[in-house]
A and B are shown apart, each in its own frame.
Chain A
């Protein structure tokens, strides 16, 4: 869509400019208080989405009558030919507008939307979880604001194993597993602490040595 829409509006603009430059337009009855060019853009848009109506080239028609009345035969014939060429071009632009914008691009748009819908309808789980997570963050923020943000240092998630069909849990089994895991965690914590202590001791020793050196100097 991000490519299609600019492309579509670009062609609406081009066809509108064409119509405007040819001195034609659309009847202003439906568009009071709007400029000629705005009327053409809106009418081109309406034509592009299937609300078809004919162009208005009354200025060329008036010109045709004026040519006949004022000029000599030869120049009148040239003027008439020129006017008819212009009227033909107006209809050609109108026809291209229908062919390219309405028949090709609008149907193309329908197929893009159809494909996009087909691709995304399978993403219902992703979308559902994305929405849930958004609302979860909002709620958590709200709870934090209200002073209800629960604090903890340990998270335990219990869920049935993937191949199991029952939703019942064995209490003692769960407790055993948790205590085993906690022991492992405690050991790693102790290792981390001793590692840090070691580093602190080494640093302190270094500092003391440096201080002693500085004092002796």
Chain B
């Protein structure tokens, strides 16, 4: 326990300047998740014990159950908890110093870097290639751009699937998740049609069904890519506020 404590403190104090022997007022907030984890275990045992008083291990070993219950507290749980706190106490962030500290800490250590990488990847592997392939009709260029877009779409779709697994039915409560699914389906259709004739000029006003479908699909896809890119732009504080005001 002592060893664990020292490791935790060492990790917590990373990035903080310490002055040994100086009596300095520190607010130290301590949350022990073990009672919570312990409670989860008790609930699990209560729900899954059979008539002989023995635990039903078959059920525990099933993949379905493993995904549902975690007997430990993770950073995702923490981020989710903070999000729920904010959702239930809208507009009171000024008074919630702890929430702000936790949020800032995770944001500075993990999120800002990750959001920056995602913004970069989405811009250069989807947004720019998608727009370029609409106006440059050179065969190999269209194939390259669309392949990049497809790879990025598959990567994001894989993430959506994982999100579905982790969040369960909660995933479908978010409107943006529906937009993401529809965006992926639309791009797959677009990709399939575009690859059939990469040299095709759009629009050609000749009432060719494939060309017409591509021209029509480009409308929701441009909207979708623009909205998706704006999501990653939220990492810039001023930009996020402006988006909210608009």
Contacts and interface: CB of A to CB of B under 8 A. Distances in A.
Interface of A: 116-117, 120-121, 123-145, 149-164, 166-175, 177-179, 181-182, 185, 188-189, 192-193, 196, 207
| Residue of A127, A131, A170 ringed by the most chain B CB atoms within 10 A | A131
A169 B35 contact: no
11 contacts: A123-B91, A131-B235, A135-B111, A136-B111, A139-B115, A157-B105, A168-B18, A168-B24, A170-B18, A171-B19, A175-B9
B157 interface: no
Nearest to A177: B28
Given A137-B80, A153-B32, A178 B5 contact: yes
Given A120-B244, A144-B166, A160 B27 contact: yes
Interface stretch (B71-79, B130-138, B142-150, B199-207): B71-79
B66 interface: no
A163 to B, nearest CB: 7
A155 B30 contact: yes
A144 B12 CA distance: 21
Interface of B: 1, 4-5, 8-9, 12-13, 16-35, 37-38, 42, 53, 70, 72-76, 78-80, 82-83, 86, 90-91, 93-94, 97-107, 110-111, 114-115, 159, 162-163, 166-167, 234-235, 237, 240-241, 244-245
Given A173-B23, A185-B34, 15 more contacts: A130-B244, A132-B107, A134-B83, A136-B82, A140-B80, A142-B114, A142-B159, A151-B74, A152-B74, A154-B34, A155-B33, A158-B16, A159-B27, A170-B21, A172-B20
Contacts of A135: 107, 111, 115, 234-235
B93 A125 contact: yes
A134 B82 CA distance: 10
A126 B115 contact: no
B83 A144 contact: no
Contacts of B97: 159, 162
A192 B79 contact: no
Taking chain B's interface residues, is the majority helix, strand, or loop, or is none over half, making it mixed? helix
B41 to A, nearest CB: 11
Contacts of A134: 83, 234
Contact of A137 (B24, B79, B245): B79
Contacts of B240: 127-128, 131
Given A133-B103, A136-B79, A153 B24 contact: no
Nearest to A130: B86
Contact of A170 (B22, B80, B114): B22
A170 B26 contact: yes
A189 B74 contact: no
A186 B237 CA distance: 41
B103 A164 contact: no
A193 B37 CA distance: 13
A175 to B, nearest CB: 6
Contact of A166 (B24, B83, B241): B24
A134 B37 CA distance: 25
A129 B27 CA distance: 22
Nearest to B53: A207
Contact of B9 (A138, A163, A178): A178
Given A154-B32, A157-B102, A185-B30, A126 B13 contact: no
A174 B13 contact: yes
B79 A140 contact: yes
Nearest to B232: A135
A157 B105 CA distance: 10
A133 B38 contact: no
B79 A153 contact: no
Contacts of B94: 125
A132 B115 CA distance: 10
Closest 8 CB pairs of A and B: A140-B79, A161-B25, A131-B240, A181-B30, A140-B76, A155-B31, A157-B29, A145-B162
A117 B240 CA distance: 14
Contacts of A178: 5, 9, 28, 30
Given A174-B9, A185-B30, A128 B104 contact: no
Contacts of A131: 234-235, 237, 240, 244
A144 B72 CA distance: 13
